[in-house]
Amino acid sequence: MSDNYLKLIPFDIGFVPDERSHQEAINYLEQLTPDGEEVEVEVYSKVTFIDQGQNLEEVICPSCKASLKNDPFSEEESDCEKLFYKIDEQSENGELEESVIEMPCCNATVKTTDLEFKWPAGFSKFELSALNPDIEPLSKEQISALSKILDCELKQIWAHY
């Protein structure tokens, strides 16, 4: 069986909301996802890659703005997939804050955390997530309410595994 996750992270990759706000955010997200299986907060000691799983479509180069597309039907590993695995490796090693990556499109060396993704993904020390939430993407108003609770602007990431 496959799983879907709704993940919310601060736009500021190093920001961790005050612990006193975590339960209120969990409660609010549980109200928004009544058919979801679990809502939880994760606080990481280092910046972590918050991925979109199989929803990976493109990685966009911050230097030349080239779009490296993922082709899930191809037998060969795409440049997009290779970058994804490199980012995941850097994340597992706790190296993301200082890491750089060489872009295959223009050979520029860029900060890993400056990469952009189609089907959003991101980098964070904080994650609020709901497993199999069975809802549409959150509205601007709902994200705004959660942002107010956590005192930060939030990015919405949908992951499929």
pLDDT score at 89: 93
pLDDT score at 6: 98
**Pairing mode, strands 116-118 and 58-60:** antiparallel
Helices of type H across 36-139: 79-92
Closest CA to 30 of 155, 148, 146, 115: 146
pLDDT score at 52: 96
Angstrom distance (rounded) from CA 70 to CA 59: 8
Angstrom distance (rounded) from CA 43 to CA 86: 22
The low-confidence residues of the chain, meaning pLDDT below 50, are none
120 near 9, Cβ under 8 Å? no
- Pick 1-55+119-161's CATH classification: 2.40.128, 1.10.1760, 3.30.70, 1.20.1440: 3.30.70
pLDDT score at 1: 73
Residues of each domain in the chain carrying CATH 3.30.70: 1-55+119-161
> pTM to 2 decimals?
0.94
pLDDT score at 73: 83
